[in-house]
Amino acid sequence: MSGTFLSPDEIKELTGRSYIKLQIEALTKMGLPFFVNGIGRPVVTRSAVEGRSSGPAPQKKAWTPRVLKTG
């Protein structure tokens, strides 16, 4: 399956846990971003696991010497 979100079976395999509460604890310990949907299940984006950015990379501000800053 290659949808936007991991399936419940994929989350179970990823966390090694069957119970939803334990899946949430495991995802938290792993540091993976997720949210809990309306029926209490953890939802993980596929890009969070595959390491792809879900959007454009943040732009760094150009360095400006303090003497040139106004305000």
Establish if 37 belongs to a structural domain: yes
Number of structural domains in the chain: 1
Establish if 69 belongs to a structural domain: no
Establish if 66 belongs to a structural domain: no
Report residue 18 as tokens: 């069957």
Own/partner long-range contacts of 16-20 (Cβ < 8 Å, ≥24 apart): none
Taking only the tens of pLDDT, the chain with its 71 residues reads 578 999 999 999 999 999 999 999 999 999 999 999 999 999 999 999 987 665 555 666 777 777 877 76
pTM confidence score: 0.69
Establish if 16 belongs to a structural domain: yes
- Cβ-contact 49, 6 below 8 angstroms: yes
Establish if 64 belongs to a structural domain: no
